[in-house]
Chain A
Amino acid sequence: MSAAAPRTDIRLEAPPPERQASLGAKLRREWRLASWPVRLSTLCLAVFYILALGSPVIAPYNPTRQYRSLPDCPPMALHLAAPSEWRRGFFYAYPMRMTDAVRRTYAEERGVRTWVHLFSRGHIFTTAPGAPPYFLLGSDALGRDLFSRIVYGSRVSMFIGILGVAITFSLGITIGALSGYVGGLLDNLIMRWSEIEMSLPSFYFLLALAAIIPSGMSTVKTFFMIVAIMSFIGWAGFARVIRGMTASVRSVPYVEAARALGASRWRILRRHVIPSVMGYAIVAATLSIPGFILGESALSLLGLGIQEPAASWGNLLAQAEDVHALAHYPWILLPGVFIFLAVMSFNFLGDHLRDRLDPSHLR
């Protein structure tokens, strides 16, 4: 038997170039994979971020403008005008007139119309300057438009989550990865500190910390103080998980190989350790956004966070603490619906991301 002739039919070929799907195509694919609650949540969050970014345009009135003759006014119905009147406007409402100044009851004035103008004077919808206002979601005890206040309040709630997570995330991932990778005394110190932070009843601690915020501080500074306080409380749990994952990654063969090849510590951390924990981190980040939103709302609700006259969903809800107002003007609960929707959307999205990015939990 002669030795087998060398095979010539094998050609060394570069593998076909991987199809790089465009971002649009990727997003379309993700959209198809998502269930309808996830899609609704995405839409809901998109709307909220549009509210937050476009507040001055979307809110029909200045959120601090007080219509003194219309306190605790209920939401007004919007009427579609007859086609013959479309020259004047498409929508109108009947202005409200107070019928009982003590109980604050209102009746529509059927004879008069207040026209709701679309896309005029820099607002999506608003009424003429001298005309009676149109309160889509009613007004508060000082006669301020609740819808405008909710729109402006969305800025606080929608950005506190992102900013807080960005800080917690970078703190947790840096400290956790360092602690897990370096080990030794540093690891020990960091972990003892985080244990103390985790044994604190977090909400109690949050309340105690909120006392640091001086009462006269500007809204923007207060906002950043709240973010800083909540990040200070929140990083520990996150860092511990990252540390555990890092410690287990440290001894896997590809990291040992990198070390054998002479890669520096920093390079290993950046190229191998951090990417391997990224999936978990993104999921954890999304799922921790609701915590920030709820924390800020709770603080503001209790009068320790964002202060009047600035609006946040939490301090808007504080009006409901008055039992009389709660019983007679239930629309003041609406900011709570917005908080609920935002929290639920982030929960659905985080849950979905976990299925997509971190399939280990499905098994």
Chain B
Amino acid sequence: MGKFIVKRVINMVPLLIGITFISFLVMSMVPGDFLSNLKMNPSVSPQMIAQMEAQFGLNQPLLVRYGKWLWAVVHLNLGISLTYRVSVLSLIGSRAVNTIILSAASMLFAWSLAIPIGIIVAVKQNSIWDRVLSFLAFFGMSVPNFFLAFLVMYLALRTGWFPVGGTYSVFYPQLDLWGKIADRINHLILPVMVLGTAGMASLMRLMRSQILEIKNSDFVRTARAKGLSERAVIYKHVLRNALNPFVTMAGYGLADLLGGAALVEAVMNLQGLGLLLLDAVRSLDVYLVMGSVLMGSVLLLVGNLLADIALVAVDPRVDFSSMESQ
């Protein structure tokens, strides 16, 4: 187990280098750079611009800049944000935590609803519930995250039940610890519902098809023939086997989750990694973009690793040696 994890972590290194290099290449293709704004500004002297160019290495060739950046990253220095003038790491840290909270809560929400609904729908195949819920799942899968975000914001505006966007209230600093937590949760409810809906719909469909497939297999027939109760058959035999691709899906779905989170953050003005990246892209803040993409990739890779470990925990047929050979 330990060996497997170490190996996977080492495997991440070339991937991350590739990812950052592609991103660096992309950022170098951007027309104009951050300093072109400052150059227009008459109050900024040419000496200052020259100094900044030297400081950020903007006038050096691409590979040199990339090498310098990479060397700094190894020392946990992601560079300085050109707009905020503070270290990228300090900016990204708190934002990434917000994004992780949002994504994890959405996943929890989606799973806790999708699994029971999927079971009910599959057990009562072709009943009216099955038809209605399966149709609704299609609905949920097709509603764009950003559109749903606007819809729930409209609902919040009309009813006043929930805060309209934002990460916390204006009076957040004056609250005590529990008040702060309650305030954060209150602001999370709508985004989590928005982000969870799409995931829930596709997970529910997956659960349904999985259970339907397993329901007709030999070992389920054996279990029934043994005289087990229907409940025991479903929960002990069908469900355990149906969960396997679920865990795999969780790994694959992470990229979508992060992307969806970025959109929801942008629309609902949540202080997450996605919104930070969007602002960085808009202001061509190269190091901040690189840092955000790197952070996003790390989240993704770590998430996938966790999903793989969970897969082994759920399914004894999968072992680490077989995963290594993949």
On A, residues with C-beta under 8 Å from B are: 37, 192-193, 195-197, 199-212, 214, 290, 294, 297-298, 301-304, 317, 320-321, 323, 326-327, 330, 333, 336-337, 339-340, 343-344, 347-348, 351, 363
Contact = CB atoms under 8 A, between A and B. Distances in A.
Interface in B276-302: 277-278, 281-282, 284, 289, 292-293, 296-297, 299-301
B29 interface: yes
A193 B299 CA distance: 20
B313 to A, nearest CB: 23
Given A303-B282, A326-B150, A294 B22 contact: no
Contacts of A302: 263, 266, 278
B202 to A, nearest CB: 10
A38 B139 CA distance: 13
Contacts of B278: 207, 302
B234 interface: no
A323 B157 contact: yes
A195 B15 contact: yes
Contact of A327 (B15, B141, B154): B154
Interface in B244-277: 255, 258-260, 262-263, 266-267, 274, 277
A327 B159 CA distance: 11
Interface of B: 15, 18-19, 22-23, 26-27, 29-31, 135, 138-139, 141-144, 146-147, 150-151, 153-154, 157-158, 164-165, 213, 255, 258-260, 262-263, 266-267, 274, 277-278, 281-282, 284, 289, 292-293, 296-297, 299-301
A204 B157 contact: no
A303 B293 CA distance: 19
B26 A212 contact: yes
B22 A290 contact: no
Nearest to A199: B15
Nearest to A198: B255
Given A200-B293, A200-B297, A204-B277, 19 more contacts: A37-B135, A196-B18, A201-B258, A201-B259, A201-B293, A201-B297, A202-B255, A203-B259, A203-B262, A204-B258, A210-B281, A211-B281, A212-B26, A298-B144, A302-B278, A304-B282, A340-B144, A343-B142, A347-B138
Given A208-B293, A301-B146, A330-B154, A344 B138 contact: yes
B36 to A, nearest CB: 12
A317 B27 CA distance: 28
Contacts of A205: 23, 293
A297 B147 CA distance: 10
A206 B26 CA distance: 11
A333 B152 CA distance: 12
Contacts of B29: 212
Given A199-B297, A201-B258, A317-B147, A208 B277 contact: yes
A193 B147 CA distance: 34
Contacts of B284: 211
Contacts of A214: 31
Contacts of B164: 323
Residue among B15, B146, B267 having the largest count of chain A Cβ atoms under 10 Å: B146
Nearest to B21: A196
A340 B30 CA distance: 32
29 contacts: A37-B138, A193-B18, A195-B15, A196-B22, A199-B297, A199-B300, A200-B23, A201-B258, A201-B293, A201-B297, A201-B299, A202-B255, A203-B255, A203-B263, A206-B259, A208-B23, A208-B26, A209-B26, A211-B26, A214-B31, A294-B144, A302-B266, A323-B165, A326-B150, A333-B150, A336-B150, A339-B144, A339-B147, A344-B138
Contacts of B259: 201-204, 206
B193 to A, nearest CB: 17
B262 A207 contact: yes
A297 B150 CA distance: 14
Residue among A199, A208, A290 having the largest count of chain B Cβ atoms under 10 Å: A208
Nearest to A341: B142
Contact of B296 (A201, A209, A327, A343): A201
Contact of B30 (A199, A212, A336, A343): A212
Contacts of B147: 317, 333, 336-337, 339-340
Contacts of B18: 192-193, 196
B213 A363 contact: yes
- The 3 closest A-B CB pairs, nearest first, are A203-B259, A344-B142, A196-B18
Given A199-B300, A201-B258, A208 B289 contact: yes
A323 B165 CA distance: 9
B326 to A, nearest CB: 11
A156 to B, nearest CB: 15
A205 B296 CA distance: 9
Contact of A320 (B150, B263, B293): B150
A347 B198 CA distance: 13
Given A207-B262, A208-B26, A340-B143, A200 B154 contact: no
B277 A207 contact: yes
Contacts of A192: 18
B150 A348 contact: no
B17 to A, nearest CB: 9
Contacts of A204: 258-259, 262, 274, 277, 292-293, 296-297
A203 B31 CA distance: 21
A214 B31 CA distance: 6
A83 B284 CA distance: 63
Nearest to A212: B29
Contacts of B141: 347
A344 B213 CA distance: 26
Contacts of A301: 146, 267
A242 to B, nearest CB: 18
